[in-house]
Amino acid sequence: MFQTSGRMAEMQIQHRHNDGAWSPLAPAHHDAAAHDPERDWVNGAVYVCESCGEEVRIIQPPAASSEGDTT
């Protein structure tokens, strides 16, 4: 699950358009009856550009298979 705390909770996600302008991204809101929000965290978090409607998905990187391996 994604956890935001400290300074990350104060940050804003933006993306740049072809004309060089930056626009904020807001969390995508879906109909609560249409899906299970806890299960959706496995697929990441979706943000939508407030200007053009483009969607961006933020996901956690896959766990490294050699994590903790010192050989």
- Contact indicator for 26, 13 with CB cutoff of 8 Å: no
Q: What is the dihedral of CA 17, 23, 29, 30, to 10 degrees?
A: -10
pLDDT digits (tens, 9 = 90+) for 12-26: 889 999 999 999 999
Model pTM greater than 0.95? no
- Contact indicator for 67, 43 with CB cutoff of 8 Å: no
pLDDT digits (tens, 9 = 90+) for 51-70: 999 999 888 888 765 555 55
Where do the domains of the chain lie? 6-58
